[in-house]
Amino acid sequence: MAEVYGTRPRKRWGRRLLVTFLVLLIILAIILVVADRFGASYAERVISDRVAEQVANQDASSAKPDVTVEGIPFLTQVAAGKYQEIKILLRDFSGPAGNGKTIKMPLLDVRARDVRAPLDTLRTRQGDIIATTVSGTGTIDYATLADLSGEAGVKLAEKGGKLAVTAPLTILNQKVTINGTAAIEVADGNVVRVRFEEVTAEGLPDVPLVDTALNNYAKSLAVDLKIPALPLKLQVQKVQPTPAGLVVTAGAKEVPLNAGGL
Contact 167, 177 (CB under 8 A): yes
Rounded Cα distance between 82 and 117, Å, is 6
Residue 39: pLDDT above 60?
no
Contact 89, 65 (CB under 8 A): yes
Cα 157 → chain centroid: 22
Among 224, 229, 169, 218, CA closest to 196: 218
For 139, the enclosing helix (H) or strand (E) is strand 130-140
Residue 41 pLDDT grade (very low, low, confident, very high; cuts 50, 70, 90) = low
What is the rounded average pLDDT for all residues in the chain? Answer: 78
pLDDT in tens, 189-242: 788 888 887 788 877 777 777 778 888 887 877 888 888 888 888 999 999 999
Residue 36's SS3 state is: helix
Rounded Cα distance between 10 and 4, Å, is 11
Residue 92: pLDDT above 90?
yes
**Dihedral (C-alpha) 56, 57, 60, 62: value to the nearest 10 degrees?**
-30
Contact 136, 234 (CB under 8 A): yes
Residue 138 pLDDT grade (very low, low, confident, very high; cuts 50, 70, 90) = very high
pLDDT in tens, 176-195: 888 888 888 898 878 888 88
Contact 169, 201 (CB under 8 A): yes
Contact 149, 182 (CB under 8 A): no
Contact 74, 37 (CB under 8 A): yes
Residue 49 dihedral angles phi and psi, to the nearest 5°: -65, -40
Residue 124: pLDDT above 70?
no
